[in-house]
Structure 1
Amino acid sequence: MRAHVVFVHGLSGHLEKTWTVKGTNSPELWPKWLAEDISGIGLWLVDYPAAKTNWRGHGMPLSDRADNILARLLLEPRLARGNIIFVVHSLGGLVVEQLLRNAYRDITNNRKTEDFLTRVRRIAFLGTPHRGSLHANIINALWLLARPSASTRDLAVGNPQLRDLNFWYRQYSRDNGIQNLVLAEGRPERFLGIALPETLGTVVSPNSADAGLPETPKLVDHSHISICKPANREDDVYVLLKDFIINPVRI
C-alpha cells in the first residue's frame, strides 16, 4: 500500500523554503531525497500562514488552523488511501496533534475523519515545543510593540491549552499505536556569528521538545532553524527520519 509523507512547517515557515537546503550547485528541496531513496511513497507539503507578528502577516488560533488544514486534507482524493506519515517542524507538530484531536471529535459525524485517523500511523517531530517556547513569551510580553499573532500567543510556556493537548496526544498515541520520532535541537541559534546563551539560543528547549511519549527524544546537532534542513543524506536528521519511515509499522 502506498504511503504518504506529509510535511507541515512551523511558525513563520514556508511551503518550500522550510525544507530547502543549500545544495552543491543550487538549493535543494530535500524531501525529494526520500522519494529517491524509498520506493512507494508520495510527498506532500502543507502550507499555511503562520506569521510571528501581525506586522507582517497573521496566524490563526491553533484549533482553528487545525480544522482548516484537516478539511483540506480530507478533500484531497489522492490522500484517500494509504498510510500517512507526518513530518512536522516546530508549531507544525502542535497543529497536527490538534488536527488529530479535532478529527477524533468529528468521527461520529464524518466517516472520512474516522478513516483518516486509522491511516495516520507515524509522526516525526522536529523541534516541536510541546510545552511552549520562551521566545514566544518574550514576544508576547512586548505586546504593544511586537503585536504577536495568534500562533505566537498559543506557543507561550505555561499555556494550559498546550498542556491539555500534550496530555491528550500522549493517551491517543498509546491507545492507537502511533509511532513517534522526536528530535530535539542540541545547538543554540547564532546571532552575528556568535552562539547565543542556551536559555535564549535554544528556541525549543530539550524539555519542551520531550512530549512525554514512550519514545525517547533524540538530541541532534542542529539549531531550531537547521533541524528541518539536513545538510545531506548523511546528516543525523535525514538518516533517522529515513529509518523511521522504512521500518515496518508495529501492529
Structure 2
Amino acid sequence: MSDGLQFENVCGRKDAAVLDIVFIHGLTGDPKETWTNSDGTFWPCWLVDDLSGVCIHTAGYPSSVFAKWAKKEMTLHERASSLAEYMVSHGMGKRPLIIICHSLGGLLAKEVFRACCEAQDEDWNALGDQLKLVVFFATPHKGAALAAIVKALIPRVSSTSIEALSNDTGFLTNLNNGYRDLAVKKGLTTIAYYEKYKTKDAALVVSEESSDPGCTKTRPIPVDADHVAICKPASKDAMTYLSVRRHIEKVLAGCPAASDDDQNSGLGPDDYSVPSEDDRRTLQEKLIDAGREYEYANANNLQNRFARRYHKLGLFTEAKTLHDTILSAVEQRFLTHVYGPKICAGAPETEIAAAVQEQVIDPLCASSENGKLTNSTILQALYYLTEQCHIQWDKP
C-alpha cells in the first residue's frame, strides 16, 4: 500500500502523448497492485499498446486516509488539495486528462475536480478544464455504502468512526451535487461500474443505487466481480477493458494532435543522447539499488559499446534517427511489459529475466521494422537507456 503521496508516469511517452490518464486507487489500495490482475499484469499499460498518444500515470496516497478522515485526523478536502498541487506540479492540466478511480478513490477524484474548478490558481483551473472523462469503479456516492466499505476492508475502525462516514452531515450529498453541477458546466463525461458479487462472501459493498452519481447520460454498468476484482480485467477481451477503451477512444478523437515542433524537435526528451531528468542515478547505482550489482561489469561494457556508436552519428543523420527509433521501442516495451507489471509488482528475478527476453528482446529481434536486431544490440540499448536515466530496475 502507499506510503506517502506518490505520482508516477508508468508507461507511455510524455513527450509524444496527447492525452494523460491518471489512475487513483481506493481504500487499502496501492498505485500498482489495485490495477494488477490475477495474472500479474498491470493492465493500464494495455492502453498504451492499443491506443496511440496516451500516457499512463498512477496517483498514490496513504490508503488509511479515509480511516483517519473518519477519526477527524484528516479531511478529504485536505488530501484532495495536496493531490491537486502534486498533479499540476507533475505537468497535469497541460493537455486533455482522464481520471480512472476505484472505490473511495472516486471521492478523492471528485474533490480534486471541485477544488481545481473553484481555485484561483490558474494551473489548478487548467487541470479542472482539461478533465474530459472520469471513470468510477465501484465508487460509493451515498453514505451507507461508504460505511459498508469501511466495515468490509478496515473492520478495526470503531462503529463511532463509521458513523462519521455516514451522510448525516450532508457532506457526501454536497460533494456529489457539486460534482454533477460542475460536470455539466465543464462538459465532463462520467462512467460508472458496480459489482454484482459479494466481497469476502459477506456483503455487496457498492450496489447499483450507490454507484450512480446521478449525472446526465450516466447509467451505471454491472460487472461480474466483487468490490476488489472489479477494477482488474483479466484480459483485453474483458467487458470492463473494452468499455474503458471505447470511452477513451472518444476522448482521443477530440484531442489536439501533437505539434510538428513536438514531433520533430532535435532536443528534449526525444534526444536519447541527453540524460533524462527523471532519475539521475548512474547505471552502477541503479543496479546496486535493484540488487543486481553482479551485472554491472557486463552491463557497463554493453552500454559503452552502444554509446560509442550512437554518439558518432551526429544529431540529424538517418542512422541516428534509426537508433532513436530502436531506443524508443526498447524503452516502450520495457516500461510496458517489464517495469510496471514485473519490477514494480515485486516479481522474482527469474520472472523479470523471462519478461525481458520474451517481451522485449524476442519481439524486437523478430520485427523487421528497424532492420535486423540481435540480442546483444537490444541489451546494449537497455543498459544505455539505464545509464541515460530513461529506465530503472528497482521499484520506486
Q: Same fold (TM over 0.5)?
A: yes
CA distance in 2, matches of 1:145, 1:99: 28
What amino acid does structure 2 have at the position aligned with 1:207?
A: E
Which structure's relative contact order is higher, taking Cα pairs within 8 Å and 6+ residues apart? 1
Match in the other structure for 2:130? 119
- Secondary structure of residue in 2 paired with 1:94: helix
- 8 Å CA contact 2:20, 2:54 repeated in 1: yes
Moved more, 131-140 or 241-250: 131-140
Match in the other structure for 1:132? 143
Distance apart, 1:250 and its partner CA: 7.3
Unaligned ranges ≥5, structure 2: 1-16, 256-396
Check if 1:31 corresponds to 2:44: yes
In the superposition, the TM-score normalised over structure 1's length comes to 0.82
CA-based RMSD of the aligned residues comes to 2.8
Residues 21 and 235 of structure 1: CA distance in aligned 2, closer, same or farther (over 3 Å): same
CA distance in 1, matches of 2:100, 2:160: 24
In the superposition, the TM-score normalised over structure 2's length comes to 0.54
Distance apart, 1:186 and its partner CA: 1.6
Match in the other structure for 2:222? 219
Check if 1:246 corresponds to 2:256: no
CA distance in 2, matches of 1:116, 1:96: 12
Q: How does 1:5-20 map to 2 (within 5 A)?
A: 5-20=21-36
Residues 232 and 148 of structure 1: CA distance in aligned 2, closer, same or farther (over 3 Å): farther
Check if 1:202 corresponds to 2:215: no
Unaligned ranges ≥5, structure 1: none
Match in the other structure for 1:103? 116
Q: Which is helix-richer, 1 or 2?
A: 2
CA distance in 1, matches of 2:225, 2:235: 13
Higher Cα radius of gyration: 2
- Secondary structure of residue in 1 paired with 2:143: coil
- 8 Å CA contact 1:59, 1:149 repeated in 2: no
CA distance in 1, matches of 2:147, 2:73: 13
Distance apart, 1:185 and its partner CA: 1.1
Residues 63 and 83 of structure 1: CA distance in aligned 2, closer, same or farther (over 3 Å): same
What amino acid does structure 2 have at the position aligned with 1:210?
A: D
What amino acid does structure 2 have at the position aligned with 1:40?
A: G
Q: How many residues align?
A: 231
Select the residue among 81, 87, 108 that pairs with 1:67. Answer: 81
What amino acid does structure 1 have at the position aligned with 2:187?
A: G
Match in the other structure for 1:229? 232
Distance apart, 1:48 and its partner CA: 0.2
Match in the other structure for 2:177? 167
Check if 1:21 corresponds to 2:24: no
Distance apart, 1:59 and its partner CA: 7.6
Match in the other structure for 1:83? 96
- 8 Å CA contact 2:147, 2:166 repeated in 1: yes
- 8 Å CA contact 1:132, 1:162 repeated in 2: yes
